[in-house]
Chains A and B, each alone.
Chain A
Amino acid sequence: MFESSMLFSLRLSLQVAVVATSFIIIVGITVAYFLARRNFKGKEFLDMLFTLPLVLPPTVTGYYLIILFGRNGFIGKQIYACTGWSIMFTWYAAVLASFVVALPLMIKTTRAAIETVDKSLIHASYTLGHSEFETTLRVILPLAKKGIMAGVVLSFARALGEFGATLMLAGNIPGKTDTMPLAIYSLAGSGEWSQANGMVILLTLMSGIFLYLANRYSKRII
């Protein structure tokens, strides 16, 4: 029993973190690109909005997400009306919570990395006939790779450890939405220290090893 519930939480945590990070990579790079390379009205406001989850208590972020995506939420109501389905208390909710909370780390590091790419390289690419999109793929992103990798690693680690917003949005349903941080919370609450110890050590080791490997990898780039 100990084995299987622990394995479930481990698998769920990884699944949530991988899916959330995939979305973070796509959305994070796109948003960071526009923040770094374009000037438009409200740019810094948008940056602030995306950064807020980094400083807000995760419970507050979770609260906003409930207001938006809950069954009676602004967006959630429409989804429920159309499909009869709600994201609340499913593992998708854990993905959404991890996504929103970890996204700022990706945007911040990627924006900084894109901004440090030498302007004359971008201009050179334009004068050589390459479109903005092609220039992004072949010049800007490869040169910003180190910062982007750092962003991916940090977001993944953050998504793996997400607790507060996940608790608000996905609940803590054993065998359904109890990711490792949530399972540890339950175990500690009911005084099952030996099992909690196992998970705490596992989560610490995983995060540590992952950061170490990613650091080594990102040093080899360029």
Chain B
Amino acid sequence: MGLSVKLKKKVNGFRLDVAWEIGNELAVLFGFSGAGKSITLQMIAGLLTPDDGFIRIDDTTMFDSSKRINVPSQKRHLGYVFQDLALFPHMTALNNILYGSNGLCKSEKRNRAGNMIDAFHLEGLEEKYPAELSGGQKQRVAFARALMRKPDILLLDEPFSALDNPLRIEMRQFLRDIKNRFDVPIVFVTHDITEAYSLANNLIVYSKGNVIQTGTPKDVCDNPLNSEVEMLINTKEPLHINP
């Protein structure tokens, strides 16, 4: 299980050129806004086409510019939680979750949706519309929807950025639980070093369209490769080190 990418892309004068791979772990793409983290996720998900390179999920090639392979987003079998969560405003929480079960038979859909509602503590909220849910509840619906199809990989684009601090910290434990329970590789994008440090098994540091260091959070913090990494990881103190 895992993901390996090599991506080149020019968008509006910005150049992205990165290559990295991860196993069945929680990898964090960390860097300032505009470093190319989000467009990396979009390319992995097939929402944006790289100019050059490849994307492999579990050794299946999803994109390869030299072999002219480009699997459409629908067939990449991944879960994506968007920065604004992207819950469908015209569907109830339950229907949002059910929408994530494309390709399953009806009884299987109901069954799995029931499990998700249990797992994400959404009992009693099934018939509520997104506008009637709190920030944390919306968050849980978005994760339940993304995990309905048992994706091969889960991509998270700063999903906690809209929450206030106490809830954000709570969400970190929530994310670790998801990792354990669903046993799925996760790529998490954030520009918050505390979040990155406390969550990552593998930290991938982005700057201006390049990866400038990878390693465990401890490695990166103890041995920053250059002054830029050092500057990036010291932007917020103190660090909360996860046992």
Contact = CB atoms under 8 A, between A and B. Distances in A.
Interface in B69-100: 72-80, 82-84, 86, 88-90, 99-100
Interface residues of A, number: 17
A124 B82 contact: yes
Chain B interface helix/strand/loop/mixed: loop
B145 interface: yes
Interface of A: 118, 120-121, 123-131, 138-139, 142-143, 222
A123 B47 contact: yes
A143 B99 contact: no
A46 B157 CA distance: 37
B115 interface: no
24 contacts: A120-B86, A123-B45, A123-B80, A123-B82, A124-B80, A124-B82, A124-B88, A126-B72, A127-B46, A127-B47, A127-B73, A127-B76, A127-B79, A127-B146, A128-B102, A128-B146, A129-B74, A129-B75, A129-B77, A129-B149, A130-B102, A143-B88, A143-B89, A143-B90
A179 to B, nearest CB: 38
A209 B142 CA distance: 43
Interface in B119-142: none
B103 interface: yes
Contacts of A128: 99-100, 102, 145-146, 148-149
A36 to B, nearest CB: 18
Contacts of B83: 120
B88 A139 contact: yes
A-B interface, 8 closest residue pairs, ranked by CB to CB distance from nearest: A124-B86, A129-B102, A127-B80, A126-B73, A120-B86, A128-B100, A120-B82, A129-B74
